[in-house]
Structure 1
Amino acid sequence: MAFTQGVSTLQDLGPFVSRHIGPDEQETAAMSEVVGVSGLDELIARAVPAALHADLPQLPGARTEQDAQATLALLAAQNNPCRAMIGLGYHGTITPPVIRRNVVENPGWYTAYTPYQPEISQGRLEALINFQTMVADLTGLPVAGSSLLDEGTAVAEAIMLARRISRKGEVVLIDADILPQTLAVVQTRLRAMGMTAVVADGDLVTALQTHEAFAVVVQAPGTSGRMPAVEELRTLAEKAHDNAATVIAAVDPLALTISAAPGDWGADIAVGSMQRFGVPLFYGGPHAGFIAVRQGLERNLPGRLVGLSVDADGTPAYRLALQTREQHIRREKATSNICTAQVLLAVVAAMYAVYHGPQGLTRIATSVHTGARRVAAALEAAGYTLAHRSFFDTLLVTAPGRAEVIRLAARESGIHLRVDGPDRVGISIGEDATEADLAAVCRAFGAELGEQEAGDLNGQERTSSFLTHPVFNTYHSETELMRYLRTLADRDFALDRGMIPLGSCTVKLNSAAEMEPISYPGFANLHPFAPAEDAEGYRTLLSSLEDWLAEITGYDRVSVQPNAGSQGELAGLLAIRAWHRSRGEEQRTVCLLPSSAHGTNAASAAMAGMKVVVIKSTEEGTIDLADLRAKVDKHRDTLAAIMVTYPSTAGVYEETITELCELVHEAGGQVYVDGANLNALAGIAKPGRFGGDVSHLNLHKTFCIPHGGGGPGVGPVAVRAHLAPFLPNHPLAAEAGPASGVGPISAAPWGSAGILPISWAYIAMLGGPGLRRATAHAVLAANYVAARLREAYPILFTGPGGLVAHECILDLRPLTKQYGVSVDDVAKRLIDYGFHAPTMSFPVSGTLMVEPTESESLAELDRFCAAMLSIRAEMDRIAAGEWPADDNPLCNAPHPISRLVAEEWTHPYSRATAVYPAGQHLGPIEGMGTDKYWPPVARIDNAYGDRNLICSCPPPEAFED
């Protein structure tokens, strides 16, 4: 099979292909020669087992960038956003242009990776600690995480946290006024874990007397808009605590600027969504969920937590705290399966608070509340009855037999309202609602807007202060905020600075042509529960994207609802469990996992109610088939599935994958192929055709959605036909999934729909041949790096002929033993050379996993290889005794500018060697220097930060010399 399809040049594949793929034809030939192959065809033929080769995906012909954008503009124009007053947890907001342009549309923010290397992530870490401080202040609880995926899953995560600290009973009491999508997400999760959600018939205090619950969830304000009184909430908290139950409050952050904080009335955990803090509606996502907890629960928090520590010079510095909670370490015992956060959206929300400050946020909230009170007075004057007279922004109005007529009248005026049965209409006022909008809402009811106000906050007026830190009281002009955002971005290393060669993470080009359409108003401003006739453009885009992904992977159906890879894993495993139940095999709960599996695999299996059984790996990094056969035989009657990453986490195409699938299928199990490494398969092999029953796909890896500094991500789930009836569905959108589905995985029907135009554009501009070519180049780049470095660094695992897949693992363990140089030393020294480090110590401790991707030019690949070879030469200088083992450029790396300008320099190597190693100061033009990335801090002491946990904005004095 000719993998380049007989096409002689990249340009023949379409104009975008040569923009996306780094090396040109001559460079490709030179790289192939180094690898020892005649070209891409021979490379793929030799590296990928012949049994896996598939026909070219049948996709539309490659579009130009202009054509793709024009088509997306037409699709966006087919959506009718109207003014969104539907509510249900999604609200009209205004993204300040200074934030949209300098964060959402700035590659310095959206192309950064997760801040696992904190020395080169200080900018976004500061932005995230601003987010945590904002959440903690608003909720009145001392510790907040750095974002969750959405409000529905945040409530579910809070319940699991409560379960971990309680172990009492199997019942969760739920407020009857909870958001419907949140209730459905919680029910999906609890069913899998063997727990029960009980919706209180009356008030929650009464329900506590009849149910032994380990947690209580209250929505304040509720779906109906009702604002419970503080005394009512305080009584609930006291009764729940008397019963040893945890109180979880799902809250509206804008309402909290003028209403009582959950921490003030006794809540243990507060969760919600920061969408209305400047984050577009995006047809449901991505949005930053949040969680805050009382003192003592911080070590049980799901997701990520940013904390303050110090670097090697004693300078305060940020880093991710308490990472031992995470999946890759604790696996099935982790606090959550979440691997992706919503960092980019959390940054937007935090900067919205920084820009407006506490006074500005209070003005916005007061304006929203006043608008709702004016509409309430007008409707009451016209004879309508309100379900509640205590509210923040939402009214539920009784209009016997007229609900649909009123909705249609409002739509004619450009406003979306919510219908709750034939007799009730919901109205939610957002920040973007104008005087004309309020008047139009009243006219739809046959009423006249006036200045009179009705309703109140039910005595919930806020008395405690919030956002008192200087960061929220300084940057209120556009000039100041622009400069603050630039300052933070300059502290970070993102893809706009250089290659990010992280194995298993696929940080490649996120082209401007792919990114721009997400800002089109038709995509950005549509409410997820808008009528289907007003979302035709989105429906067309979603349908074609799902079809393309099915064709590329060889599966029959795809759901894009999961809004992270971890959620796609959960959706796929729940589908497998549901399929077994449908066949009367409820007992099939064992999930086999290779020892090298991603940590999210184990955590997701546990969340799906499965028992994890580990399969050994051989010394070559492949799955031990003998151990697999033994485990399959042992668990034959209870085997549900195996989760296997392909190509393997070892970075090779395992020859035995088809045999593995046959073994599991013969025993009655299903095969889950983790899609983390799909960038080595797309266009060449199809998991759904070589034995997979289900896969999740990381659109933030293979399909070019940017990592955003740690999120957003999208993790669609793809299945064979027999599992299709068990895909996710949604209670508020029948079209989102089958009626027989497992329930919603995410709060929104189509998850993070707002960023799906990125992947649509990527596939549309590449086409089938271009997609195959991109994958072949990814494999070529990894083999080129392996070939150039193998004499200096042993390549831990290889396939037939010494080839790897799209990533290679450099084994530093012999060098650590010989020279005393750790994998951390090499990772930090790479910062001095102007690189983000590869993945450290995964899947094998003491190694670096390198994934160069297809987007990097030969010059950048050579620059990386030169840096790694130079570091190897530095090890030799340590071995020769030129530099002491405890005072050398590697163990002291990275070197911030503060060290360069210090009066004293006591090290046995020069300042130039420290900060401009191996001639890195030389630019492309003789006699001219080159730009250098300067890490803002030296190596950070993680243990110190965990012992002295500080997770909110420190006072400015902390940064004084």
Structure 2
Amino acid sequence: MTEQLSLQQLEKRDEFIQRHIGPDEAEQQHMLATLGLTSLDELIEQTVPGNILLDKAIDVGEAKTEVQVLANLKAMANKNKLFTSHIGMGYYNTHVPNVILRNVLENPGWYTAYTPYQPEIAQGRLRSLLTFQQMVIDMTGMEIANASLLDEGTAAAEAMALAKRVSKNKKCNTFFIANDVHPQTIDLVKTRAEMFGFDIVIADAATVVEHNVFGALFQYPNTTGAVTDISDLIADVQSKKGIACVASDLLALTLLKSPGELGADVALGSAQRFGVPMGYGGPHAAFFATKDKFKRSLPGRIIGVSVDSRGNEALRMALQTREQHIRREKANSNICTAQVLLANMAVFYAIYHGPEGLKNIAQRTNRLADILAKGLQAKGVELANDTWFDTITLNLADNKQAIVERALAKQVNLRTDLTNQVAISLDETTTAADIAVLFDIVLSEGHGLDVTELDAQVTSAGDSSIPTELARQSAYLTNEVFNTHHSETEMLRYLKSLEAKDLALNHSMISLGSCTMKLNATAEMIPVTWPEFANMHPFAPVDQAQGYQEMISELSEWLVNATGYDALSMQPNSGAQGEYAGLLAIQKYHQSRGDHHRNICLIPSSAHGTNPASAQMAGMKVVVTKCDSDGNIDMDDLREKAEQVADSLSCIMITYPSTHGVYEETIREVCDLIHQHGGQVYMDGANMNAQVGVTSPGFIGSDVSHLNLHKTFCIPHGGGGPGMGPIGVKSHLAPFLPNHPVITIEGTGETNGSVSAAPWGSAAILPISYTYIALMGSEGLRKATQVAILSANYMAQKLADDFPILYRGRNNKVAHECIIDIRPLKEASGITEMDVAKRLMDYGFHAPTMSFPVAGTLMVEPTESEPLCEIDRFIEALLSIRAEIAKVENGEWTVEDNPLHNAPHTMADLVDANWNRAYDRQLAVFPSAASAANKFWPTVNRIDDVYGDRNLVCSCPTTESYAEE
């Protein structure tokens, strides 16, 4: 007889929890039995120190169904009022080509991929990023570009830092910012300068000639829309051995002489208006370009051209280990600060439209601005500038308020933060009907202006709002890739061809320790492209964004509850930015107490490479503390160093569970020790996936943490960005959270500087984390943590007889990740961790985290989302690889001629007529039944990293160069 279930029991079976968590109940019991355990609670008791186990459950509500959550979120979204935006200030409406919307932004093949540290299985997005660099080089007239930064404001801050590094004016400590730069950019650069100890001068651009500076920042066109020749100002800065930086606009540069042609040393800006929605502030890719001689100081990631073992062209991240693994606190910037998915969208937009299509969009936008200006001037309205691209600014005496009220009545937003002025920015979505509405707003109805007649007048007059001497004459986007894929059929196939070269979560497990590559559920992604969330300007009046505000407020409350903190800032738009913001709050707290001398940051040797880089960005001095033989913080060394620097101690940066994958028993002792010496505890949120619902940073004793929403809370990695890194703080640090110069954020100090260009960072992706938490509820979040720990321990247990597990905690348990030590195998066989990583590609897997935090190791994190069958398949692959290593150990294969050393294998190997290796080619390409059944083909053989760095090429090769090869 069929078991009769209650309605409540039936509804519970429809919960999302069991679809997010990979292993079902029976599989969990099998895994527990493998460990000699009977329950998840028993596992946690054996693994997590008892003194940090939460004494009560977190409270984020009960789990809801996908239908319920999306309906609730849609009701919130409908509270947003989508007025027509003419605010500008670096954020513009844009038409996202549907072929890109559906096949990139909404496609897990693009948004679930990881940072391309394993380039052989990332050639698609490496190609698009290289093309992004080429686009930026062309548009800016510079010689080298990186593969994106977080936003325009942070790019400007990076420009200042680069200027200080490379300027020959070494004794100077002053950086100049023109007062016609966007206000959010000015504020962010000021904040960064304060931590670096730089002096800042903000004044009229023309007055730069009066100052001795190591660098200067100009905006072109400027924030009120004027297009002025700044070449003499650039030359003056350079005459004093300073570095001239120019913030610009990619669409404007289709019509304007490029910054490079004006003589600039650095060009930067936002690629947002190239087909990326405003999203209430992000995520958007910033661009950054400079002269070739500064390439070793270029911040962020650079994609370069190299060769593979067959001599074929292959792409990789050039100089890729520089920031995190080598330079650490001396890093130029944080390599995590990139927006790969959005950079890809922007370059695909440029490819789809091509140079002529982009120019047409720009000319049309500029023509509408000309028509608007012509009509207003005809009616006696005074314009602040006589040149412009897309923005005109009106000088208003006493009628500003009336104009603003008429605009709001017609559901139109103008820029209103200027004294006695209103600015109006146009974009590719602006129509002739919008211009007619703007005439009604500024002049009241009955003005008699006709857009068609004004267009004819502008044409016949022949006047140009762009000065003749600044009109662009140079070619751009001449590479064939920008002149080929203009039909949707061509574009669709081009996108698919790139996607097919990349391994992402939609193909197989990505077991990267510390990176938590887990399910990004479709339901979580759906709200991102809803117009109510996607098309909101970040500086729209807050009362028009009530849906956003409600969602952000509720998500903040949930995250505060889950972390044990008291307050939260959503502004940091990456984990690295979160680290910086958290350290900034600590420094400002010390300064508020008169402790300006507290500037020492203790960092264990096992820490993430981002930690020391962030500490130096916050103006701190790093003191490294030792780890013991078990991988734990060496308490004796910590006590000694904490005592030595007690008077100057600002904080410690720790990760919990440790970067070595264990729950350290002394974590409360660490927190107490630092507090005793007057310091603060910064807990890196990278490993929150092993804390949620079980313990929490605030409960343990930490003062501040950033949360990688793109790890624990399901925002996808997007091939290396976007991310969000909000920070949670205890109450005493809450007054020092970031504020914003345009939109005031309640609950923090009014004079606090910003760390991101938009008030709530990359707000458009917050619905992902909101949906995840609402779907999981309190019970589901705790279970996710438990199963993540279960999966890691199951994997460690199954591998331990063949691979040494480097570190373990209490009861021989690991946390949510484990480190496989390859060093003994390397000593015995000559096979390296690199060989194992590359051979995994032949089995259809992305490698675990390689050589971090310990050189010669692999760090594995299975997450809670991977089903048991996939975990077992990964274990089977590693055990098979171990058997292959044994054949090298016993001399059956040589160190040079074996399937590991030659991995990965490609179709070229399969059809090689001259195959003469010691092993069968079928073993090479189909090493397991699973790989034969669902083969992912690496598109290049092993890439020569040394060649790529010695022959640094960071732009697109032409067809002619292929022919020459």
In structure 1, runs of 5+ residues without a counterpart are: 1-7, 923-929
Q: Give the match for residue 872 of structure 2.
A: 862
After TM superposition, the structure 1 = structure 2 runs for residues 771-810 of structure 1, keeping only pairs within 5 Å, are 771-810=781-820
Conservation of the 8 A alpha-carbon contact between 1:729 and 1:737: no
Conservation of the 8 A alpha-carbon contact between 1:9 and 1:25: no
Q: Give the match for residue 345 of structure 2.
A: 348
Structure 2 CA distance for aligned equivalents of residues 10 and 797 of structure 1: 43
Q: Per the alignment, in what secondary structure is the counterpart of residue 323 of structure 1?
A: coil
Conservation of the 8 A alpha-carbon contact between 1:575 and 1:742: no
1:456 to 449, 453, 465: 465
After TM superposition, the structure 1 = structure 2 runs for residues 288-327 of structure 1, keeping only pairs within 5 Å, are 288-327=285-324
Task: State whether structure 2 residue 726 is matched by structure 1 residue 729.
Answer: no
Task: State whether structure 2 residue 149 is matched by structure 1 residue 179.
Answer: no
Deviation at 1:412, TM superposition (A): 2.8
Deviation at 1:958, TM superposition (A): 4.4
Conservation of the 8 A alpha-carbon contact between 1:736 and 1:750: no
Structure 2 CA distance for aligned equivalents of residues 875 and 691 of structure 1: 45
Structure 1 CA distance for aligned equivalents of residues 325 and 85 of structure 2: 40
Task: State whether structure 2 residue 22 is matched by structure 1 residue 60.
Answer: no
Conservation of the 8 A alpha-carbon contact between 1:148 and 1:290: yes
Conservation of the 8 A alpha-carbon contact between 2:844 and 2:931: no
Deviation at 1:13, TM superposition (A): 7.9
Structure 1 CA distance for aligned equivalents of residues 890 and 10 of structure 2: 48
Q: Give the match for residue 331 of structure 1.
A: 328
Task: State whether structure 2 residue 835 is matched by structure 1 residue 816.
Answer: no
Q: Give the match for residue 481 of structure 1.
A: 491
Task: Pick closer, same or farther for the CA change 1:521–1:903 going to 2, 3 Å.
Answer: same
Structure 2 CA distance for aligned equivalents of residues 258 and 334 of structure 1: 36
Task: Pick closer, same or farther for the CA change 1:733–1:154 going to 2, 3 Å.
Answer: same
Structure 2 CA distance for aligned equivalents of residues 32 and 478 of structure 1: 51
Q: Give the match for residue 146 of structure 1.
A: 147
Task: State whether structure 2 residue 364 is matched by structure 1 residue 367.
Answer: yes
Structure 2 CA distance for aligned equivalents of residues 959 and 795 of structure 1: 46
Q: Give the match for residue 389 of structure 1.
A: 386
In structure 2, runs of 5+ residues without a counterpart are: 1-7
Conservation of the 8 A alpha-carbon contact between 1:336 and 1:603: yes
Task: State whether structure 2 residue 78 is matched by structure 1 residue 81.
Answer: no
Q: Give the match for residue 465 of structure 1.
A: 475
Structure 2 CA distance for aligned equivalents of residues 947 and 379 of structure 1: 57
Q: Give the match for residue 429 of structure 1.
A: 426
Once structures 1 and 2 are overlaid, which stretch shifts more, 407-416 or 133-142?
407-416
Structure 1 CA distance for aligned equivalents of residues 121 and 9 of structure 2: 38
Q: Give the match for residue 18 of structure 2.
A: 18
Structure 1 CA distance for aligned equivalents of residues 419 and 899 of structure 2: 73
Measured against aligned partners, the alpha-carbon deviations of 1:78-130 in whole angstroms (never above 9, x if no partner) come to 11122211011101111000000000000000000000000000000000011
Task: State whether structure 2 residue 856 is matched by structure 1 residue 850.
Answer: no
Amino acid at match of 1:851: E
Structure 2 CA distance for aligned equivalents of residues 403 and 573 of structure 1: 41
Conservation of the 8 A alpha-carbon contact between 2:303 and 2:317: yes
Measured against aligned partners, the alpha-carbon deviations of 1:381-438 in whole angstroms (never above 9, x if no partner) come to 1110000010100011022222232123223333211114563111000110111111
1:833 to 843, 852, 857: 843
Q: Per the alignment, in what secondary structure is the counterpart of residue 191 of structure 1?
A: helix
Deviation at 1:959, TM superposition (A): 4.5
After TM superposition, the structure 1 = structure 2 runs for residues 94-243 of structure 1, keeping only pairs within 5 Å, are 94-166=95-167, 167-200=170-203, 202-204=204-206, 206-209=207-210, 211-229=211-229, 233-243=230-240
Conservation of the 8 A alpha-carbon contact between 1:403 and 1:421: no
1:936 to 915, 923, 939: 939
Amino acid at match of 2:770: W
Amino acid at match of 2:307: V
Amino acid at match of 2:387: S
Q: Per the alignment, in what secondary structure is the counterpart of residue 474 of structure 2?
A: coil
Q: Give the match for residue 4 of structure 2.
A: none
Once structures 1 and 2 are overlaid, which stretch shifts more, 107-116 or 873-882?
873-882
Amino acid at match of 1:137: D
Q: Give the match for residue 268 of structure 1.
A: 265
Task: Pick closer, same or farther for the CA change 1:848–1:396 going to 2, 3 Å.
Answer: same
Structure 2 CA distance for aligned equivalents of residues 579 and 153 of structure 1: 23
Once structures 1 and 2 are overlaid, which stretch shifts more, 739-748 or 24-33?
739-748
Measured against aligned partners, the alpha-carbon deviations of 1:827-873 in whole angstroms (never above 9, x if no partner) come to 00000000000000000000000000000000000000000000000
Amino acid at match of 2:187: A
Structure 2 CA distance for aligned equivalents of residues 654 and 23 of structure 1: 27
Structure 1 CA distance for aligned equivalents of residues 648 and 420 of structure 2: 50
Q: Per the alignment, in what secondary structure is the counterpart of residue 647 of structure 2?
A: coil
Q: Per the alignment, in what secondary structure is the counterpart of residue 32 of structure 1?
A: helix
Deviation at 1:287, TM superposition (A): 0.3
Q: Give the match for residue 4 of structure 1.
A: none
Task: Pick closer, same or farther for the CA change 1:418–1:126 going to 2, 3 Å.
Answer: same
Structure 1 CA distance for aligned equivalents of residues 723 and 205 of structure 2: 38
Deviation at 1:455, TM superposition (A): 5.4
Q: Give the match for residue 911 of structure 2.
A: 901
Amino acid at match of 1:505: C
Deviation at 1:737, TM superposition (A): 5.3
Measured against aligned partners, the alpha-carbon deviations of 1:173-220 in whole angstroms (never above 9, x if no partner) come to 1111000000000010000111122112x443x3333x2200011100
Conservation of the 8 A alpha-carbon contact between 1:129 and 1:952: yes
Structure 2 CA distance for aligned equivalents of residues 588 and 831 of structure 1: 48
Q: Per the alignment, in what secondary structure is the counterpart of residue 897 of structure 2?
A: coil
Task: Pick closer, same or farther for the CA change 1:427–1:584 going to 2, 3 Å.
Answer: same
Deviation at 1:458, TM superposition (A): 2.0
Q: Per the alignment, in what secondary structure is the counterpart of residue 650 of structure 1?
A: coil
Q: Give the match for residue 623 of structure 1.
A: 633
Measured against aligned partners, the alpha-carbon deviations of 1:346-394 in whole angstroms (never above 9, x if no partner) come to 0000000000000000000000100101000011111100000101000
Q: Per the alignment, in what secondary structure is the counterpart of residue 354 of structure 1?
A: helix
What TM-score do the two structures reach when normalised by structure 1? 0.97
Deviation at 1:920, TM superposition (A): 3.5
Q: Kindly report the root-mean-square deviation, in angstroms, between the aligned alpha carbons of the 2 structures.
A: 1.4
Task: State whether structure 2 residue 521 is matched by structure 1 residue 511.
Answer: yes
Amino acid at match of 2:49: P
Structure 2 CA distance for aligned equivalents of residues 580 and 263 of structure 1: 43
1:589 to 599, 609, 619: 599
Conservation of the 8 A alpha-carbon contact between 2:837 and 2:848: yes
Conservation of the 8 A alpha-carbon contact between 2:177 and 2:205: no
Measured against aligned partners, the alpha-carbon deviations of 1:228-262 in whole angstroms (never above 9, x if no partner) come to 12xxx221122111100100000011000010001
Measured against aligned partners, the alpha-carbon deviations of 1:506-565 in whole angstroms (never above 9, x if no partner) come to 000000000010111000000000111210000101111111100000000000100000
Structure 2 CA distance for aligned equivalents of residues 859 and 9 of structure 1: 27
Structure 2 CA distance for aligned equivalents of residues 896 and 736 of structure 1: 56
Q: Per the alignment, in what secondary structure is the counterpart of residue 68 of structure 1?
A: helix
Q: Per the alignment, in what secondary structure is the counterpart of residue 689 of structure 1?
A: helix
Q: Per the alignment, in what secondary structure is the counterpart of residue 796 of structure 1?
A: coil
Measured against aligned partners, the alpha-carbon deviations of 1:720-752 in whole angstroms (never above 9, x if no partner) come to 000000000001111265234631000000000
1:751 to 731, 738, 761: 761
Q: Per the alignment, in what secondary structure is the counterpart of residue 400 of structure 1?
A: coil
Structure 1 CA distance for aligned equivalents of residues 959 and 789 of structure 2: 48
Task: Pick closer, same or farther for the CA change 1:814–1:422 going to 2, 3 Å.
Answer: closer
Deviation at 1:328, TM superposition (A): 2.9
Deviation at 1:794, TM superposition (A): 0.3
Q: Give the match for residue 43 of structure 2.
A: 43
Conservation of the 8 A alpha-carbon contact between 1:186 and 1:197: no
Q: Per the alignment, in what secondary structure is the counterpart of residue 160 of structure 1?
A: helix
Amino acid at match of 2:352: Y
Measured against aligned partners, the alpha-carbon deviations of 1:36-62 in whole angstroms (never above 9, x if no partner) come to 221211101110111111121111221
Deviation at 1:14, TM superposition (A): 6.1
Percent of counterpart pairs with the same letter? 53
Amino acid at match of 1:518: V
Q: Give the match for residue 926 of structure 1.
A: none
Once structures 1 and 2 are overlaid, which stretch shifts more, 416-425 or 80-89?
416-425
Amino acid at match of 1:16: F
